[in-house]
Amino acid sequence: MLLFLQVRVLNKEPKGKDVNDGDVFHINLGFSEKLYRIKINSIQMKETEEENKKTNDQVMQDRQYQIDAAIVRIMKTRKSLSHKLLIAEAMQQLKFPLKALDLKKRIESLIDREYLERDSSDPNVYNYLA
């Protein structure tokens, strides 16, 4: 007959499953089993709203170079393209979720840096500047 014991490497004060800010953990000095393999899971801290926003902003800032490169690549091959088609093709090329507003900001940035220009006859068409 096998007997399954719950082995505790750490003891928590006060006892219970939930972990609060005031909880204290102590090493169980009485633990000395050689036959048990122990996996200690770390407790993940919950991200605050501010930290979540900061992380998302950092990710977007890192991705802006990928967005710029994709837009320039598309425009280099097409030379001239309408706004809707450029947005659709850029979203198809980029593998991460993206808002059309973010793409529009990057297009405006490329126009400011003179990689693209608006067509003089139709403002919804972009031309690639070599």
Assess contact for 13 and 24: CB atoms under 8 A.
yes
**Backbone Cα Rg of the chain:** 28
Q: Report the CATH number of the 61-128 domain.
A: 1.10.10.10
- Nearest-5° Cα angle at 80, 76 to 85: 95
pLDDT digits (tens, 9 = 90+) for 16-48: 777 888 888 888 787 777 777 777 677 777 778
According to the model, what pLDDT value does residue 47 have? 74
Judge whether residue 2 has pLDDT over 50. no
According to the model, what pLDDT value does residue 1 have? 43
Q: Where are the domains of the chain?
A: 61-128
According to the model, what pLDDT value does residue 6 have? 64
pLDDT digits (tens, 9 = 90+) for 54-108: 988 898 888 999 999 999 999 999 999 999 999 999 999 998 888 889 899 999 9
According to the model, what pLDDT value does residue 75 have? 94
What's the pLDDT band for 5 if we cut at 50, 70, 90? low
Residue 128, strand partner residues: 116
Side by side, which strands form the sheet with 125-128? 80-82, 125-128, 116-118
According to the model, what pLDDT value does residue 7 have? 66
According to the model, what pLDDT value does residue 125 have? 94
According to the model, what pLDDT value does residue 81 have? 93
